[in-house]
Structure 1
Amino acid sequence: MSSTERPEIVSTREGRGRAELVLEIGRALLRLGAPAYRLEDTMKVVAQRLGLQGQFYCTPTAFIAALGRGSRQRSFMARVDESEIHLAKLSRIHDVIEALSRGIMSPVAAIREVREIMEAPAVYPLLIRLLAPALFSASIAILFGGGVIELGVAFLLGFFTGGLGLLMSGSANLARLYPALAGFLSALICGSAVFIWPEFSVYLALIAGLIVLMPGLGLTLATRELASGHLVAGSSRMAGAVVALVIVGFGVALGSQLSQLMTGPWPQEISLALPAWTHWLAILSAAIGFTVLFNAEPGKLGWIMLAGILAVEVGGRVSDWLNPGLGALVGALLVGLLGNLYARYRNRPAVVIQVPGIMLMVPGSLSFRGLSSLMEQDAMGGVQIGFTVALVAAGLSTGLILASALLPPSRSL
Structure 2
Amino acid sequence: MLHKYGTPAYRLETHLMELADAIELRSSFIISPTSMTFVLWTEGHEDEYTHAARVTPGDLDMGSLSRTDEVVSDVISNVLTIDEALDRLDEIENMPSRYGRFSTGVSYILAGGAFAMLMRSSLNDVLWASLLGLVVYIFVLWGQRSKGVTNMLEPLVAMVSAFCACGIAVYFDASISIRLVILSSIIVFIPGLALVIGLAELSARHLVSGTVKIMDAFMMLFKLYFGAFLGMEVGFAVFGHSEYIGLPPLPQWTVWLAVATLSISLMIAFRTRRKHMFWSMLIAFIAYATSSLGSTYFDYGLGAFVGAFVVGVYGNLFTRFAKAPAAIVTMQGLIVLVPGSKTFISLNTYIAGEGFAYAEHAGQQAVVIFMSIMAGLIFANSALPPKKSL
Taking the TM superposition and a 5 Å limit, the aligned residue runs for 1:74-113 are 74-113=49-88
User: Deviation digits for residues 291-334 of structure 1, max 9, x if unmatched?
Assistant: 00111013322212211112212213423553332222111111
2:100 aligns with one of 105, 125, 140: 125
Alignment-mate amino acid for residue 39 of structure 1: L
Q: 1:94 to 1:219 in 2, by over 3 A?
A: same
2:288 aligns with 312
Cα pair 2:68 2:89 within 8 Å, conserved: yes
Q: 1:363 to 1:279 in 2, by over 3 A?
A: closer
Instruction: Give the Cα–Cα distance (whole angstroms) in 2 for the partners of residues 71 and 356 of structure 1.
Output: 45
1:45 aligns with one of 18, 25, 28: 18
RMSD, matched Cα = 2.1
Cα offset, 1:174, TM superposition: 2.4
User: Deviation digits for residues 360-412 of structure 1, max 9, x if unmatched?
Assistant: 11121011111112321469x99953332222222222212221221122221
1:67 aligns with 40
SS of structure 1 residue aligned to 2:39: strand
Cα offset, 1:71, TM superposition: 4.1
Cα pair 1:202 1:267 within 8 Å, conserved: no
Alignment-mate amino acid for residue 36 of structure 2: F
Cα offset, 1:278, TM superposition: 2.4
2:247 aligns with 271
SS of structure 1 residue aligned to 2:152: helix
Taking the TM superposition and a 5 Å limit, the aligned residue runs for 1:27-42 are 28-42=1-15
2:366 aligns with 389
Instruction: Give the Cα–Cα distance (whole angstroms) in 2 for the partners of residues 78 and 299 of structure 1.
Output: 34
Instruction: Give the Cα–Cα distance (whole angstroms) in 2 for the partners of residues 139 and 112 of structure 1.
Output: 40
- The answer to whether 1:211 aligns with 2:187 is yes
2:386 aligns with 409
Q: 1:299 to 1:162 in 2, by over 3 A?
A: farther
1:299 aligns with 275
- The answer to whether 1:252 aligns with 2:228 is yes
Q: 1:214 to 1:136 in 2, by over 3 A?
A: same
Instruction: Give the Cα–Cα distance (whole angstroms) in 2 for the partners of residues 74 and 391 of structure 1.
Output: 44
Cα pair 1:201 1:271 within 8 Å, conserved: no
Cα pair 2:190 2:340 within 8 Å, conserved: yes
2:328 aligns with 352
Cα pair 1:140 1:208 within 8 Å, conserved: yes
Deviates more, 1:160-169 or 1:306-315: 160-169
Q: 1:322 to 1:385 in 2, by over 3 A?
A: same
User: Deviation digits for residues 209-266 of structure 1, max 9, x if unmatched?
Assistant: 1110101011110110000100000000001000010001100000011112244456
2:112 aligns with 137
Q: 1:343 to 1:267 in 2, by over 3 A?
A: farther
Cα pair 1:372 1:382 within 8 Å, conserved: no
Q: 1:266 to 1:230 in 2, by over 3 A?
A: farther
Cα pair 1:201 1:269 within 8 Å, conserved: no
Alignment-mate amino acid for residue 10 of structure 2: Y
1:363 aligns with 339
SS of structure 2 residue aligned to 1:30: coil
Instruction: Give the Cα–Cα distance (whole angstroms) in 2 for the partners of residues 110 and 366 of structure 1.
Output: 43
Q: 1:377 to 1:276 in 2, by over 3 A?
A: closer
Cα offset, 1:76, TM superposition: 1.0
Equivalent pairs, count: 385
Q: 1:172 to 1:32 in 2, by over 3 A?
A: farther
1:191 aligns with 166
Instruction: Give the Cα–Cα distance (whole angstroms) in 1 for the partners of residues 295 and 155 of structure 2.
Output: 32
User: Deviation digits for residues 25-44 of structure 1, max 9, x if unmatched?
Assistant: xxx01111211111111111
Instruction: Give the Cα–Cα distance (whole angstroms) in 2 for the partners of residues 388 and 215 of structure 1.
Output: 16
Cα pair 2:174 2:245 within 8 Å, conserved: no
Instruction: Give the Cα–Cα distance (whole angstroms) in 2 for the partners of residues 402 and 93 of structure 1.
Output: 28
- The answer to whether 1:157 aligns with 2:132 is yes
| Structure 1 gaps, min length 5 | 1-27
Cα pair 1:291 1:300 within 8 Å, conserved: no
Instruction: Give the Cα–Cα distance (whole angstroms) in 2 for the partners of residues 209 and 382 of structure 1.
Output: 18
User: Deviation digits for residues 129-181 of structure 1, max 9, x if unmatched?
Assistant: 11102111111111101111010011112222223213203444421210010
TM-score in terms of structure 2 length: 0.93
Alignment-mate amino acid for residue 17 of structure 2: K
Alignment-mate amino acid for residue 127 of structure 2: G
Instruction: Give the Cα–Cα distance (whole angstroms) in 1 for the partners of residues 189 and 270 of structure 2.
Output: 14
Cα pair 1:40 1:58 within 8 Å, conserved: yes
Instruction: Give the Cα–Cα distance (whole angstroms) in 1 for the partners of residues 245 and 369 of structure 2.
Output: 27
Q: 1:349 to 1:221 in 2, by over 3 A?
A: same
Cα pair 2:120 2:251 within 8 Å, conserved: no
1:148 aligns with one of 89, 112, 123: 123
1:8 aligns with none
Q: 1:347 to 1:373 in 2, by over 3 A?
A: same
1:6 aligns with none
Q: 1:31 to 1:161 in 2, by over 3 A?
A: same
Cα pair 1:192 1:263 within 8 Å, conserved: yes
- The answer to whether 1:323 aligns with 2:299 is yes
Alignment-mate amino acid for residue 67 of structure 1: L
Instruction: Give the Cα–Cα distance (whole angstroms) in 1 for the partners of residues 22 and 297 of structure 2.
Output: 48
SS of structure 1 residue aligned to 2:29: strand
Q: 1:163 to 1:316 in 2, by over 3 A?
A: farther
